[in-house]
C-alpha cells in the first residue's frame, strides 16, 4: 500500500551521563559568574571603606598636603603621598 518509511537524515545526539568534556554546564557558568560579582563587590567595598574612615577635616588636610607637594610646576608627588 504505502511506501516503506525511510530513516530521517538527521542524527540523534547521544546523551552522555555527565556534562561533556569541553562543554561546561550552564549551572557551573552561573556559579562562576556569581562568584566573580561577589569578588568585585568585596574589592569595591574595601576601597570605599578606606576613604570613608577619614574625617572630613583630615581628608581635606591630606588633599591640601598633596596639592602643596605637587607644586606649581606640575611635578609628581612623592610615592608615599598616595598612602
Provide the grid cell at 25. 554546564
Q: Which residues span the domain enclosing 59?
A: 28-72
Q: What is the mean pLDDT of residues 6-24?
A: 64
Over range 54-70, report the average pLDDT: 87
In a domain, 47, yes or no: yes
Q: Residue 19 falls within a domain, yes or no?
A: no
> Which pLDDT value is given to residue 39?
95
Question: Which residues have a Cβ under 8 Å from the Cβ of 24 and sit 6 or more positions away?
Answer: none
Q: What mean pLDDT value characterizes the chain?
A: 76
Q: What is the pLDDT of residue 46?
A: 82
pLDDT tens sequence across 20-40: 566 678 888 899 999 999 999
* Residue 11: inside a domain: no
pTM for this entry: 0.35
In a domain, 46, yes or no: yes
Evaluate whether 33 touches 25 at the Cβ level (below 8 Å). no
Looking at the structure of the chain, the number of domains it has is: 1
Instruction: Give a yes or no: residue 68 inside a domain.
Output: yes
Amino acid at each position: 500500500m504505502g511506501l516503506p518509511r525511510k530513516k530521517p537524515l538527521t542524527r540523534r545526539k547521544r546523551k552522555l551521563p555527565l556534562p561533556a568534556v569541553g562543554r561546561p554546564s550552564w549551572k557551573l557558568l552561573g556559579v562562576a559568574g556569581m562568584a566573580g560579582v561577589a569578588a568585585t563587590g568585596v574589592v569595591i567595598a574595601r576601597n570605599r571603606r578606606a576613604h570613608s574612615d577619614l574625617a572630613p577635616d583630615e581628608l581635606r588636610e591630606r588633599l591640601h598636603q598633596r596639592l602643596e607637594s605637587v607644586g606649581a610646576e606640575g611635578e609628581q608627588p612623592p610615592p608615599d603621598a598616595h598612602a
